[in-house]
Structure 1
Amino acid sequence: MRLSCKAAGIFAIIASLVISSVPSVAQDKKVTISQAFQSMLYLPFYVAINKGYFKDQGLDVSKETAGSPTAALAAVLSDSAEFSIHGPEWTAIAASKGADVNIISNVVNGAAVWIATTPDFKYEKIQDVKGEKVVAGLMPTTSTSLFMKLLQDNGMDPKSDVDILQVQIGSEPGPFLGGQAKVAVLYEPGLDQVAAQGMKVVLGFPEEYGPYAFSSVTAKKGVDPETAQSVVNAMEMAFRFMHANPDETIAIAQKEFPSLDKKVVEAAVKRMLKENVYPTSVETTNDAFETAMKTQIALGNLKDAPDYATFVFPDYVKKAMALPK
């Protein structure tokens, strides 16, 4: 039986009303987070992505790798990214030059740098490296900066008392294992790459300094507050998960770094969890912030430290830490 034109028209109107009454599915808000490097230090960020914590907060996060801290920060300053991940000193330097930026979340809370030596090297104190060639990352980088400051703090001159062989960051294990030096200053996973080859870990800066604001999430002060809160919430959930589930955290790290030996990745993650390099919350404490800024002032990278109360924005952190356990 065919419908009359009038009846067909009525059914069309009813159908359109039914369709329009169905609520549309909300789309996750698109957000870009620019990281300085693809780094094992930023594992909390990758955990938040892999575990869906950003999606749980209504965000569709795009991860971009800038290639350097300054490039990552520049992405925020130019509005091509809402957030960036790198050392807070770069944010402080930008703020000192008038940029309207601050840090909103912790990412790395320990000075994640270590000194390793060959098995035959006799090491009891830092003065034992005097006269040695030392492999370290190409400046400017925190690992080499911290090493130089350690020498200065112990009455040594980095320019004359040691011969620092600066190489591209991440390539330090090569010349060290190749016999070009008996001492190396390393990040992870380079540290556990050389440890797996029998090299000795003789000094850890996480233990030397304690809490240290090493990497943070940066945003403009005018960032959308709801979006910023969602980012900080997701990071808080990632930290909680990492410390409660180390085995699954290791599995995520192995997925993110498939070209690395799985045992090296496992050792590196375990070391950084044990030494509190990965924080237990998004809070950047005053002590951790001051230690990091004093290092940068001593190295001449900063003249004065920003005001902790305003530069380390507390509102998002407080709300994130109050989330149900």
Structure 2
Amino acid sequence: MNNRRKVSLILLTLVLSFSLIFMGCGSTEKVSDNKDLKTVRLNEVVRSIFYAPQYVAINEGIFADEGIDIKLQTGWGGDKSMTALVSNTADIGLIGSETSVYVVKQGSNEKIINFAQLTQTDGSFLVSRNNIPNFKFSDLKGKEIVGGRRGGIPQMVMEYTLNKNGITPNKDVDIIQNIAFDATTGAFKGGTGDFIQLFEPNASKLEKENNGYVVASFGTEAGKLAYTVFMATESYLKDNPETVQKFTNAVYKGQIWCANHTAEEIANSIKSFFPEDDLDIIIKAVNRYKEQESWAPNPLVQKEAIERLQDVMIKGGELDTKIPFEQIVNNSFAEKTIKEIPLP
């Protein structure tokens, strides 16, 4: 075989390989009759079953029926997703609402506004290396937890929960915070830490592999919070009110869909976003989130939930005074959505 033909075959193989990769990572969105779609660049902070209503709204054709074509990006970190928003490489972000507070505190000229809430609890779980049938938070004393980055809401909720249960972070228990979010599971499997804070499906995957055991839910322990919210720059909301309204409508319909379908049905709908995970893992993770009511029933950003989140930030030492609700929240789109879209 001559060199030119070898090169051609190699290039063809690479093209086919990349095509298969992107086919596996994409959605299986149902085709809509609406051909005049408005593109929205959506940046999610991580890829997690925690965001199931969003994936349902994509794969069930709900966004498309509203006239929106979602171009989904995954930031793998609140700081990265926020950077995408402020640099105009994303139109809307699905991020922890604490990031909008940080932007205001930093004195940015462009405010980031929360306009539609997706989740109302923390979505992470405490996973132990060893099976502890009757786990108590006192079992953490003298141990190490692989946690999240300092200043992120998962880390602050963990510390809030520990303090609530009489455990002083980095005194009674060491928290490892210098590992990248997408590398923590591998580090834990490699022997780092006695416990780890994980979202789904990673928590259930460790259990299936007998590499870990879920012993507590931070969502259950910490209660209702304005946890993960759709947000955009103030100027984007002002310049694109019709698009934002349709986007919010789709979010609500995705929330309603999840509320009225079984874990198995939800898992089958979102499976394409988790091509490497077995269906039983996805079903188990969906069940966990449904049982602890992690998904908000509607997109309205609750004032009490924002206040509570800022309480967590203050107790975590990341905030000195609260930002007024009206500076970081615009509920007009959610209010209109709830008024005009009837429940089934």
Q: Give me the TM-score of the superposition, normalised by structure 2.
A: 0.79
* Cα offset, 1:119, TM superposition: 4.4
Paired residues, what number? Answer: 301
Structure possessing the higher radius of gyration over alpha carbons: 1
Give 1:212's aligned residue.
225
Match of 2:255 among 218, 221, 239: 239
Give 2:334's aligned residue.
317
* Cα offset, 1:296, TM superposition: 1.5
Q: Deviations over 1:67-104 (max 9, x none)?
A: 32222222322333221111010011112323322100
Is there any run of 5+ residues in structure 1 with no aligned partner, and where? 1-24
For 1:135 and 1:173, how far apart are their aligned partners in 2?
A: 9
* Cα offset, 1:234, TM superposition: 0.5
* Cα offset, 1:155, TM superposition: 4.3
Q: Which amino acid in 1 is paired with 2:158?
A: F
Between 149-158 and 220-229, the greater mean CA deviation after superposition: 149-158
Identical residues among aligned pairs (%):
24
Q: Deviations over 1:117-160 (max 9, x none)?
A: 24454754312211012233344543333223333344443223
Q: Which amino acid in 1 is paired with 2:245?
A: Q
The 1:196/1:306 distance shift into structure 2, 3 A limit, reads same
Q: Contact (CA 8 Å) 2:76, 2:181: kept in 1 or not?
A: no
Between 172-181 and 182-191, the greater mean CA deviation after superposition: 172-181
Between 29-38 and 160-169, the greater mean CA deviation after superposition: 160-169
Task: Point out 4+ residue stretches in structure 1 off by more than 6 angstroms.
Answer: none
Is 2:87 aligned against 1:74? no
State the SS of the aligned residue for 1:212: coil
Q: Deviations over 1:37-87 (max 9, x none)?
A: 223222222211111222211222221223322222223223332211110
Between 159-168 and 216-225, the greater mean CA deviation after superposition: 159-168
Q: Contact (CA 8 Å) 2:119, 2:295: kept in 1 or not?
A: yes
Give 1:159's aligned residue.
170
Q: Residues 1-325 of structure 1 correspond to what in structure 2 (within 5 A)?
A: 27-96=36-105, 97-98=107-108, 99-121=110-132, 123-166=134-177, 167-198=179-210, 199-222=212-235, 223=237, 224-246=240-262, 247-322=264-339, 323-325=341-343
For 1:124 and 1:238, how far apart are their aligned partners in 2?
A: 35
For 1:179 and 1:73, how far apart are their aligned partners in 2?
A: 32
For 1:182 and 1:106, how far apart are their aligned partners in 2?
A: 33
* Cα offset, 1:290, TM superposition: 1.7
Q: Contact (CA 8 Å) 1:170, 1:190: kept in 2 or not?
A: no
The 1:82/1:153 distance shift into structure 2, 3 A limit, reads same
Between 264-273 and 137-146, the greater mean CA deviation after superposition: 137-146
For 2:134 and 2:164, how far apart are their aligned partners in 1?
A: 18
Q: Which amino acid in 2 is paired with 1:100?
A: K
Is there any run of 5+ residues in structure 2 with no aligned partner, and where? 1-33
Q: Give me the TM-score of the superposition, normalised by structure 1.
A: 0.83
CA RMSD in angstroms, aligned pairs only = 2.4
Q: Contact (CA 8 Å) 1:136, 1:164: kept in 2 or not?
A: yes
